[in-house]
Amino acid sequence: MATTSAEYIQHHLQNLTFGKLPAGYQRADGSIVEETTWTLARTSSEAADMGFMAFHVDTLGWSIFMGLIFIGLFRFVASRATVYTPSGLQNFVEIVVEFVQGIVKDTFHGRNPLIAPLALTIFVWIFLMNSLKWIPVDYIPGLGMALGLDYFKIVPTTDPNATFGMSIAVFALIIYYSIKIKGVGGFTKELTLTPFNHWALIPFNLFLEVLGLLTKPLSLALRLFGNMYAGEVVFILIALLPFYVQWALNVPWAIFHILVIPLQAFIFMVLTVVYLSAAHEDHH
């Protein structure tokens, strides 16, 4: 249980981690792990010692849950869609679909039936994950403590594992379509002879192009993570203030996030479409 401000902040920023502890490891309560075992971390140091192969259970759980809400909601609306007396929910979903479709038409210059559904999924899914930030910071960790969980974060996009997971998936699509549209030779030529079309400058071109290619997933992941994580920290700091001050600051900050939450989902979607559009351009 957190007793100081620093411990409170650390507790609310720590993920529920499931990973492997080696035999002989001494846990926070003084007990010794007799044999290598997979278990939930009880402290942040245990989570760190679990290494790269540990899982953030709360991030996975909430992101999957938000994804299921997206699929279920849109399937529900699609199965009951009508042209005569559309419901308010159908009108809202149609507005979202038409909005994303318009962005794709204006931004994507190739021909690929995957791009519009992908853009819609990214926008709505990230928006739903970001929107969990509107839940007061103590509610979900408190629920986790009541269930016997030492840590329980709720906003998946404040975890770099989630944002990098999405950006790496987009990066894989960029590479796939770059090779599919341009061919291995065309993609290689683009990397080695752009921007300077001379054999002597191939190393310099390759450095610039590979660097530019790698910054795409980095920019996607870090922009989303940085904005959402910073907002989460501010909410936690506000929660440490006296009750009457909390209400004076929480409400304006929550209203500000009415803009931030969809904006970050929109930026991630637009950059994804832009990057995939560039991957579909065959200059030869």
Catalytic residue annotation: 219, 223, 227
Chain length of the chain: 284
Tell me if 225 sits within 8 A of 160, measured CB to CB: yes
Residue of 272, 72, 92 lying closest to 168 (CA atoms): 272
CA 86 to centroid of chain Cα atoms: 32
Q: What angle do CA 63, 159, 38 make, to 5 degrees?
A: 80
Q: Which amino acid belongs to residue 170?
A: V
> Which residues pair with residue 38 across a beta bridge?
20
- Rounded distance between C-alpha atoms, residue 187 and residue 181, angstroms: 9
Q: State the Cα–Cα distance between residues 249 and 81, nearest whole angstrom.
A: 41
Phi, psi of 26, deg, nearest 5:
-95, 120
Contact in structure between 133 and 235 (CB atoms under 8 Å): yes
Give dist(CA 182, CA 201) in Å, integer.
21
Cα 149 to Cα 141: distance, rounded to the nearest angstrom: 8
Q: Among all chains, which residue has been given the structure tokens 């402290």?
A: 43
Six-digit token string for 112: 């690929």
